[in-house]
């Protein structure tokens, strides 16, 4: 009868036996060698992010200091979380949080779905020349500078000689409206201008994803009696779902980072109540008043909120679908 080996003997034998699997570093080296040209192409981007995004992170420590230009970062005294407490107790804290969330949610609920819808509509066009013409015309506004876009808004919506007010007065006798000087119109105009400049450009990535949809799936759905709407719902949308999920998560991750440029160009003292957001608050207090430590603390808090929103959305998406960022 063959003796049964003990657990300790199995352990010794396992340690003594040569490993058949290649080492982790050896596999990594082979993977890098296979795609060495791709890694070479990525080097400039990596260097850019290291120099302009990671190295400047050292300056975040001034959020915990009473920073002085004369003393420098190292010699400035530590104040702990005083700058954060100052921000939380600021009289405009809830106003800028509310305005930032309002504009970001409107972009998420209106502009983001509009990009997908526009891509689906373009995908249904069968005349290639007309499709290319519409696509080109739709994404060209993206390349117009923000000052020019806002200048066009002021020109078209002028209460004196603007095209909109003049037309409304001639057609229905409506009195001129100062659109750009009315707080009730700030958010609608902000989103409408975003639709004009960004929908065509944002649809490009979904159109690229649509090129990977297998045409046989449409033929099978057509044989089953499905119409165009059902094909879009049951074939097209599931096929581009991974792209939609990734773009949605990226949009969530920058919700609180609403750019200051467009808001600053559009806002006026009359619309401050609805237009003042975190980025404009940081610009005003940092560059105009020189409160560098305070505004760094505000920006750091903003980044933490963005990370929390991104991780939360990613966790929810991961639990409900098969696609996520992490």
* Angstrom distance (rounded) from CA 19 to CA 189: 66
Instruction: Quick: pLDDT tens for 262-281.
Output: 999 998 888 989 999 999 99
Strand partners of residue 65: 78
Q: How far is CA 23 from the centre of its chain?
A: 39
Q: What is the mean pLDDT of residues 83-87?
A: 94
Name the pLDDT band for 22 (thresholds 50, 70, 90). low
What is the pLDDT, as a whole number, of residue 114? 95
Whether the pTM exceeds 0.85: the reply is no
Name the pLDDT band for 1 (thresholds 50, 70, 90). very low
- Which residue ranges does the chain devote to CATH 1.10.3720.10? 89-320
* Topology (CATH) of 89-320: MetI-like fold (1.10.3720)
Is the pLDDT confidence value at 180 over 60?
A: yes
Name the pLDDT band for 16 (thresholds 50, 70, 90). very low
What is the pLDDT, as a whole number, of residue 102? 93
Instruction: Quick: pLDDT tens for 93-142.
Output: 999 999 999 999 999 999 999 999 999 999 888 888 998 899 899 989 99
Q: Please, which contacts does 180-184 make with residues 24 or more away whose CB atoms are closer than 8 Å?
A: 180/153, 180/154, 180/266, 180/268, 181/268, 181/270, 181/271, 182/270, 182/271, 183/270, 183/271, 183/273, 183/274, 183/275
Q: What percent of the chain has pLDDT over 90?
A: 43
């Amino acid at each position: 009868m063959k003796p049964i080996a003990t657990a300790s003997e199995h352990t010794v034998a396992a340690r003594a036996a040569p490993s058949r699997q290649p080492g982790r570093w050896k596999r990594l080296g082979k993977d890098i060698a296979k795609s060495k040209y791709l890694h070479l192409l990525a080097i400039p981007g990596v260097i850019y992010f290291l120099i302009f995004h990671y190295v400047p992170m050292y300056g975040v420590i001034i959020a915990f200091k009473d920073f002085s230009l004369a003393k420098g970062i190292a010699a400035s005294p530590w104040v702990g979380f005083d700058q954060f407490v100052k921000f939380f107790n600021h009289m405009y804290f809830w106003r800028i949080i509310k305005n930032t969330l309002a504009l970001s949610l409107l972009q998420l609920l209106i502009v983001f779905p509009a990009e997908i819808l526009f891509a689906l509509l373009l995908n249904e066009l069968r005349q290639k020349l007309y499709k290319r013409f519409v696509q080109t015309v739709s994404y060209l506004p993206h390349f117009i500078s923000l000052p020019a876009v806002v200048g066009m808004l002021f020109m078209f919506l002028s209460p004196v000689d603007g095209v909109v007010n003049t037309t409304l007065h001639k057609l229905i006798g409506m009195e001129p409206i100062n659109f750009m000087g009315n707080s009730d119109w700030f958010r609608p105009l902000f989103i409408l201008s975003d639709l004009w400049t960004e929908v065509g450009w944002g649809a490009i990535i979904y159109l690229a994803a649509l090129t990977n949809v297998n045409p046989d799936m449409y033929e099978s759905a057509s044989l089953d009696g499905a119409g165009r709407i059902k094909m879009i719902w049951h074939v097209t949308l599931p096929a581009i779902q991974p792209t939609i999920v990734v773009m949605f998560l990226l949009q969530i991750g920058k919700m609180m980072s609403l750019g200051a440029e467009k808001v600053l160009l559009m806002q006026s003292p009359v619309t401050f109540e609805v237009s003042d957001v975190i980025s404009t608050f940081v610009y005003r207090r940092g560059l105009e008043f020189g409160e560098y430590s305070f505004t760094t603390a505000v920006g750091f808090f903003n980044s933490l909120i963005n990370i929390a929103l991104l991780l939360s959305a990613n966790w929810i998406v991961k639990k409900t679908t098969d696609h996520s960022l992490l």
